[in-house]
Amino acid sequence: MDTVVPEQEYLRPHKKFPSVWCPGCGIGIVMGAIIRAVRARQLAKDDIAMISGIGCGGRMPVYLDFNTMHTTHGRALAFATGLKLARPDMEIIVVMGDGDAMAIGGNHFIHAARRNIELTAIVVNNRIYGMTGGQVSPATPLGVRATTAPYGQIERPFDIARMAEAAGAAFVARSTTYHAIELDRFIARGMEKKGFAVVEVLTQCPVFWREPDQIGDPVAMLKWFRDNTTTDPDGVASGKILRGVIVDRELPGYVESYRTLMKTRRKRGGG
């Protein structure tokens, strides 16, 4: 008799596996972390919606047996905002890449954080445009070579977690695909938060990442995340990337504030 792994209950069995993602891609690790976070919270599949934009991570809703929308480039948060206002009872997870969230979707990102709309945004940050040919993204580090920067990236990258914090998100965390157990916890905490929660996930793109010691080697990339990230804020001074919960604060949620306003207006005869 075949044994069903509990996480498989959240997958659409008629979809073709292995997935569309390239061998060694970290997006499957992120998808697994989302499944485990959902399972840990004992949420019913019908109570969850997953919204994505365009990019490698945009394919994730194809595989997960939730209510799903695969939307237009950079607009996942706009679609998710409308859905949350219409169905505030639903748990809504928004999956975006670094280009999807920070370039064409950057305006939506900062205003979703400013409003503190009750969504969980997962930013899959491989620091490059993986689906369209390896162009630099707003998160590509200085000096990294790409198809649109063959001699090295010279534009300063965004710090996605810090941007989310500055724009007003209630919860911001950063992890990597190497730190999978940590990532599970951060996503679960983000989903529990009453407000806009951002979980940035540093992940590997073994096809288009151009660093000489990492080309085509996802294992080396995972080890790089292990060796070049830290949970100690003092370690950032040595060039390491900070992991952990960046901010966790209590702020009024947009949906809650909106519903309170509507109740007040109705009592006053405002329609």
182 three-state secondary structure: helix
Find the radius of gyration of the CA atoms of the chain. Answer: 19
Report the pLDDT value the prediction gives residue 92, as an integer from 0 to 100.
97
- pLDDT, residue 70, reads 94
Four-point Cα dihedral 54, 60, 64, 68, nearest 10 = -10
Give the whole-angstrom CA distance, residue 153 versus residue 147. Answer: 10
Tokens linked to 15: 């979809």
Beta bridge partners of 176: 202
For residues 214 and 63, give the distance between their C-alpha atoms in angstroms, rounded to a whole number. Answer: 29
User: Would you say the pTM of this structure is higher than 0.85?
Assistant: yes
Nearest-angstrom CA–CA distance, 231 and 245: 9
CA separation for the pair 135, 147 (Å, rounded): 5
> Among residues 215, 235, 30, which one has the least CA distance to residue 128?
215
Quick one: tokens of 18? 């292995």
How much is the pLDDT for 207? Answer: 85
Helix segments in 12-159, DSSP class H: 27-40, 60-63, 76-86, 98-102, 106-115
Q: What is the DSSP letter of 14?
A: T
The pLDDT assigned to 1 comes to 42
Residue in 60, 48, 70, 64 with CA at minimum distance from that of residue 14: 64
**Predicted pLDDT of residue 39:** 93
Note the residue count of the chain.
271
State the CATH architecture for 6-205+215-267.
Answer: 3-Layer(aba) Sandwich (3.40)
Distance between CA 134 and CA 232 in Å, rounded? 32
Can you say how many angstroms the Cα of residue 82 is from the centroid of all Cα atoms in its chain? 19
On the 0-12 / 13-18 / 19+ scale of CB atoms within 10 A, 56 is buried
- For 100-124, how does the pLDDT look when each residue is reduced to its tens digit (9 = 90+)? 999 999 999 999 999 999 999 999 9
Taking only the tens of pLDDT, the chain with its 271 residues reads 455 556 788 998 887 778 889 999 999 999 999 999 999 999 999 999 999 999 999 999 999 999 999 999 999 999 999 999 999 999 999 999 999 999 999 999 999 999 999 999 999 999 989 888 889 999 999 988 888 998 989 999 999 999 999 999 999 999 999 999 999 999 999 999 999 999 999 999 988 875 555 555 889 889 999 999 999 988 787 889 999 999 999 999 999 998 889 888 787 765 5
